[in-house]
Structure 1
Amino acid sequence: MTASAFDILDLGTLPYPEAWALQKRHHERVAGGGRPTLLLVEHPAVLTLGRKAREGDNIVVTRAYLAAQDIEVFEVERGGDVTYHGPGQLVAYAIFPVGRRVRDFLRLLEQSVVTALDTLGLPDARPNPGYAGVYVQGREVGGLPRHQKLASIGVAVKRHVALHGIGMNVTTNLDHFDLIVPCGLTDTQMTSVAREYELRGLPRTATMPEAKAALAGAFTTTFDTYDWTLPDLTAAGG
């Protein structure tokens, strides 16, 4: 699939290490002036530790337990804390030129998810100032107010080009988030498109093909006027 200024590759289901290596290959190509690419993928269950989570303090079970569940743990170069990827979660890796516009790029990633979720029938999806990611209306859990986070966002920028990106829960097994303190946030509960449909009594079924189409379309719209210029690496401070 090709958008106006970038390619969209659907990788299906791919083990995390293979997708990580593929990201790096595309990153090298884009950093060398190649066409930007959005990778859409699902992963088998895995935990990743961002730069704020090197000790893994927000994993609340033992590594032996994770190993018994065939859940691997990887330290990666993105920002943020610990997060979970697994079946039913749509992961989008935007290998796009960013330069020094990292905050603006993060806001565009969030807007892409907000637009996709609106298409999927969740019009209250929104960013949450001070937190990276996309949320829906909060609710009480056990008598306490909890933010409801539907998509996590974390990126790395090397040679002015982004790696990593978005994890959007579609039909994700949310019980797996009990293995961690998601993104290190104790006031937050993870949710999904499927769960929101159920809790709201919406007569819809969450499907990965529909979610992929919605997110791909949202990226095309959100990045329609994006500046795709790759900064000159030979310039001072490049």
Structure 2
Amino acid sequence: MADPLRVRWLGTVPYREALAVQTSLFEHGTGQHLLLLEHPHVFTYGRTADLATNLKCEPATVGAELVAAKRGGDITYHGPGQLVGYPILNIDNKLGATGHVCGVEGLIIDVLTELGVPNAGRLEGYAGVWLDAGTERERKICAIGVRLKKGRTMHGFALNVATDLAFMREHIVPCGIGDKPVTSLAEEGIDVTMEQVVAVVARCAADRWAAGVAERQDVAWRHAADGRDLT
């Protein structure tokens, strides 16, 4: 029997609190986990980030935190309307961080294809998932940054569902890539709720990392009168 993937939708969680949870699971746990959540507005940056160039605002003035993260990559944004996923997995060290990134990209490509975005794929030389890669219209819909240590992973992906893209277009150079735009499912005309996206991600992740065996627990989903998801 495959070790189940324990999928948890946590709702809206401040970045530092979510980091403490995943760090504990990463350093002291042995199971397979996928934490799915949204963050309040926050900019995070990896070890090699160039903040002098790529941070274009004072975070507090736009209602955001600025937090260092032990992951690869430059500065990125998390906020409402963006699905953040933290796969905390046991993998063969021979796969390496690059191989793990490729696996996370594959997960998101599968999810987007199922949601009706057939033009999702990889862009050589750039981590993440892109639409119309290799064309004049290429644009990024999902950022990815991971950490791998002793066969255990943390950090993960940020999929733009109905994100306020002004935070990435006006306040930072996302992932340090200034010449390529960002997009979201909403901007691409894909009308889905966060709950629907989470369901597809959870199922595809279980298929990819646990032979379809999953344990899922969610915080309560609430819905506004206009159909928006609230947590």
TM-score range relative to shorter protein? 0.7 to 0.9
Residue among 78, 81, 104 paired with 1:85: 78
Specify whether residues 170 and 58 from structure 1 end up closer, same or farther in structure 2 by C-alpha distance, changes over 3 A only: same
Is 1:49 equivalent to 2:45 in the alignment?
Answer: yes
**Runs of 4+ that moved beyond 6 A:** none
Q: Which moved more, 1:217-226 or 1:119-128?
A: 217-226
Residue among 100, 103, 110 paired with 1:108: 103
* Structure 1: distance between partners of 2:137 and 2:56: 19
- Report the Cα offset of residue 146 of structure 1: 5.0
Deviations 1:87-120 (A, max 9, x none): 0000000001232412221111000000000111
Give the structure 2 partner of residue 130 of structure 1. 125
- Report the Cα offset of residue 169 of structure 1: 0.3
Specify whether residues 45 and 219 from structure 1 end up closer, same or farther in structure 2 by C-alpha distance, changes over 3 A only: same
- Kept in 2, the 8 Å contact 1:111–1:222? The answer is no
Is 1:15 equivalent to 2:7 in the alignment?
Answer: no
Superposition CA RMSD, Å: 2.0
* Structure 1: distance between partners of 2:52 and 2:148: 22
The 3-state SS of whatever aligns with 2:186 is helix
- Kept in 2, the 8 Å contact 1:139–1:148? The answer is no
* Structure 2: distance between partners of 1:95 and 1:13: 19
The 3-state SS of whatever aligns with 2:71 is coil
Normalising by structure 1, we get a TM-score of: 0.81
* Structure 1: distance between partners of 2:127 and 2:174: 12
- Report the Cα offset of residue 139 of structure 1: 10
* Structure 2: distance between partners of 1:154 and 1:69: 24
**Structure 2: 5+ residue runs without aligned partners?**
213-231
Give the structure 2 partner of residue 58 of structure 1. 54
Residue among 63, 70, 83 paired with 1:70: 63
* Structure 2: distance between partners of 1:152 and 1:213: 20
* Structure 1: distance between partners of 2:60 and 2:175: 21
* Structure 2: distance between partners of 1:123 and 1:213: 19
The 3-state SS of whatever aligns with 2:73 is coil
- Report the Cα offset of residue 55 of structure 1: 4.0
Is 1:223 equivalent to 2:220 in the alignment?
Answer: no
**Structure 1: 5+ residue runs without aligned partners?**
198-203, 227-238
Specify whether residues 20 and 54 from structure 1 end up closer, same or farther in structure 2 by C-alpha distance, changes over 3 A only: farther
Normalising by structure 2, we get a TM-score of: 0.84
Specify whether residues 224 and 21 from structure 1 end up closer, same or farther in structure 2 by C-alpha distance, changes over 3 A only: closer
The 3-state SS of whatever aligns with 2:187 is helix
Specify whether residues 8 and 69 from structure 1 end up closer, same or farther in structure 2 by C-alpha distance, changes over 3 A only: same
The 3-state SS of whatever aligns with 2:7 is strand
Flag the structure with larger Rg.
1
Query: Alignment identity in percent?
Result: 37
Aligned length: 208
Bigger relative contact order (CA 8 A; separation at least 6): 2
The 3-state SS of whatever aligns with 1:38 is strand
